[in-house]
Amino acid sequence: MADVAHMTGRHRMPDLLIRGMSPEALARLKDQAARHGRSMQAEAKSIVEAGIKPTMAEWLERVDRTRAELEAGRGTLPVSSAQIVREVRAERERRLSPGKQ
């Protein structure tokens, strides 16, 4: 039988089924979803995705690994990932606190 999704270019995203949730957890999820104006599925997806984001250490390691790959191909980059993060944080602080210049 032909794979209609493959032929039309529409592929389904994988699904996740959570069994055995307590009624209390389900009620809290429903309330939180309503507060955020989302469906329960969208709220659960948001919670899961937020919970598996890389840590700052993992993110910096990835930046440093990418930096090393770039440097191997075309020379040294001018600043470290830690310096970039410090500069981004300082700029964000300046934008959030304009009176503290």
**Binning pLDDT at 50, 70 and 90, where does residue 6 land?**
low
pLDDT in tens, 33-86: 999 999 999 999 999 988 888 888 888 998 888 888 887 777 666 677 788 888
pLDDT in tens, 84-97: 888 888 888 888 87
Quote the crossing angle between the two packed helices 23-35 and 40-51, to the nearest 10°: 100
Task: Tell me the residue type at 20.
Answer: G
Distances (CA, A) of 31 to 2, 18, 39, 44: 42, 18, 10, 12
| Contact residues for 21 (Cβ-Cβ < 8 A; gap 6+) | 29
- Write down the pLDDT at residue 1: 43
- Write down the pLDDT at residue 88: 85
